[in-house]
């Protein structure tokens, strides 16, 4: 009987199995060559299903679940639990008239989503705090943190809360809701796309204009450059060395390490967001912007209008306002701001370092609001001229100071880094430092130059990409991929926000 010989066909089944199954050491990320090839094949099927909406939605949903499996293994079932439970709860809410019953249903949604988040993310954190109460020795439990759980739980919660508030009509199709929650461009690291922004686009006839396509390519190229060229290179070759052993380096080196991390985390996270926005545009969907040159901010309040916009607006609309916002007096407003940022810090990770980071930002937001009220300045007030310059410099350095606690794994390491800067600065090492790490500082210079350049420059580049013929866009993408291969480290560097 004739038997198919895969080897003769040039197909290595072991290699194929390795590629298709989850590998904890190499999760699926946008900047990997495997994803770019996979997305090319995905796009061909997507185009074939252009006029078959339901089949296209099903195909994308299945691909999204596969994408999440390649990122977190078998924990993709959590995505299914959140999707089915919130879909059914929202449907039930719509059919329920009594206010207390509707409240119980939304509380149930909160318990499911936050319960999963708390178990996987905070069990060891609270266990470590409570262990001394019964004279127990803390031994961390072996709990795997699924990639992106903080993002898709918050995204799904925005849907049920909006339905509860009657700001949104629930979907009648489970497939449509599964498509919304699992849509792979923003699944594992945001942006947190609101249901009211995304759901109207789901069954809209698929249309990708030449402008959308050009902008999509621009965002992907921009994001890939920021992540794979700037962020990864300065991280592996400089920033990680400083933060791993801050006591071994002078204050000058520590200071530049902090500046490097400020650029690294911006390029890493905004690079992911850019690629997510670009991929969505290529598929015919629009995402809101998630970053707006945050280090140009002239106050902490302005910074949070520019940094991780989808999270800051989520915290504002669903936490700060729920706590009372500014409706219960000035003192309560300041307390609500601090509480919101403390919880926002804890959202980033189960560590007191993140709580300190959030608390510092919360106090700074409260103080800024206090002095603005004291001086009678309206919300629209903006510094100008030399005052704006110093306001931007001060805000940037405050944000960098807070990054110390965000990046370090222990509070002691943060204190060591600060102590080195103030007691062992050694400015005479500057020439030696610049000579030894000239490639790193050249890329840092490029990164900060691109960040602080006028918005009109970026808009001009985007328009230029849109006007280019397809072959020129393809050549730019190929050239960038070649550049990434030349500068990348031996190991794939996961996106920083995968851990959140």
Q: How far is CA 310 from CA 191, 192, 278, 307, 317, in A?
A: 6, 5, 16, 9, 11
Instruction: Give the up-direction half-sphere exposure of residue 9: CA atoms within 13 A in the CB hemisphere.
Output: 7
Active site residue 368: no
Q: Are 257 and 242 in contact (CB under 8 A)?
A: yes
**Which ranges in 1-51 belong to alpha helices (H)?**
13-20, 33-48
Two structure tokens written together for 372:
């603005």
- Provide the 3-class DSSP secondary structure of residue 193: coil
Q: Which of 308, 348, 361, 451 is catalytic?
A: 348
Residue 335's contacts (CB-CB under 8 Å, 6 or more residues apart) are 366
Q: Is the dihedral of CA 271, 272, 277, 283 positive or negative?
A: positive
Q: How far is CA 433 from CA 239, 263, 335, 413, in A?
A: 13, 18, 44, 22
Query: What b-and-e string marks burial along 408-431, b requiring 16 or more CB atoms within 10 Å of the CB?
Result: beeeebbebbbebbeeeeeeeeee
**Which ranges in 225-299 belong to alpha helices (H)?**
232-234, 240-244, 251-282
Cis peptide before 146 (omega within 30 of 0): no
Q: Are 269 and 307 in contact (CB under 8 A)?
A: no
Classify residue 4 as left (phi > 0), alpha (psi -120 to 50) or beta.
beta
Q: Are 30 and 228 in contact (CB under 8 A)?
A: no
Per DSSP, the residues of 99-143 read HHHHHHHHHHHHHHHHHHHHHHHHHHHHHHHHGGGGTPPP-----
Active site residues: 348
């Amino acid at each position: 009987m004739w038997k198919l010989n895969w080897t003769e066909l040039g197909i290595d089944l072991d290699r194929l199995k390795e590629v298709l199954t989850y590998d904890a050491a190499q999760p699926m990320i946008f900047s990997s060559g495997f994803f770019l090839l996979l997305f090319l094949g995905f796009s061909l099927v997507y185009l074939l299903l252009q006029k078959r909406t339901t089949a296209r939605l099903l195909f994308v949903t299945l691909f999204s679940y596969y994408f999440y499996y390649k990122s977190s293994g078998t924990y993709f079932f959590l995505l299914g639990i959140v999707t089915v439970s919130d879909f059914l709860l929202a449907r039930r809410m719509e059919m329920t008239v009594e206010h207390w019953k509707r409240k119980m249903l939304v509380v149930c949604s909160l318990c499911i989503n936050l319960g999963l988040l708390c178990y996987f993310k905070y069990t060891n954190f609270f266990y470590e705090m409570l262990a001394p109460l019964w004279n127990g020795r803390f031994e961390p439990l072996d709990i795997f943190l699924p990639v992106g759980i903080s993002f898709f739980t918050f995204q799904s919660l925005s849907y049920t809360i909006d339905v509860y508030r009657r700001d949104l009509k629930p979907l009648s199709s489970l497939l449509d809701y599964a498509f919304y929650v699992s849509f792979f461009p923003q699944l594992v690291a945001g942006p947190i796309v609101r249901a009211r922004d995304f759901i109207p686009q789901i069954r809209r006839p698929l249309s990708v204009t030449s402008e959308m396509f050009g902008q999509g390519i621009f965002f992907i190229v921009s994001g890939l450059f920021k992540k794979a060229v700037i962020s990864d290179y300065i991280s592996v070759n400089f920033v990680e060395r400083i933060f791993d052993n801050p006591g071994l380096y002078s204050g000058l080196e520590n200071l530049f390490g902090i500046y490097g991390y400020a650029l690294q985390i911006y390029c890493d996270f905004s690079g992911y967001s850019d690629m997510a926005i670009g991929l969505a545009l290529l598929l015919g969907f629009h995402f809101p912007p998630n970053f707006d040159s945050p280090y140009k901010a002239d106050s902490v309040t302005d910074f949070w209008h520019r940094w991780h916009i989808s999270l800051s607006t989520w915290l504002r609309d669903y936490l700060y306002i729920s706590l009372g916002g500014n409706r219960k007096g000035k003192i309560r407003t300041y307390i609500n701001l601090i509480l919101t940022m403390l919880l926002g810090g804890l959202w980033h990770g189960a560590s007191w370092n993140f709580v300190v980071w959030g608390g510092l930002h919360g106090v700074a937001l409260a103080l800024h609001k206090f002095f603005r009220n004291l001086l009678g300045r309206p919300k629209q007030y903006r510094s100008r001229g030399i005052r704006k310059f110093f306001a931007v410099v001060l805000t940037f350095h405050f944000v960098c100071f807070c990054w110390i606690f965000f990046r370090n794994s222990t509070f002691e390491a943060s204190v060591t880094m600060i102590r080195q800067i103030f007691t062992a600065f050694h400015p005479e090492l500057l020439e030696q430092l610049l000579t030894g790490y000239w490639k790193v500082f050249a890329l840092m210079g490029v990164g900060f130059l691109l960040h602080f350049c006028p918005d009109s420059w970026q808009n001009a580049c985007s328009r230029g990409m849109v006007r280019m013929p397809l072959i020129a866009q393809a050549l730019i993408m190929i050239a960038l991929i070649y550049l990434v291969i030349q500068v990348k480290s031996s190991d794939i560097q996961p996106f920083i926000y995968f851990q959140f």
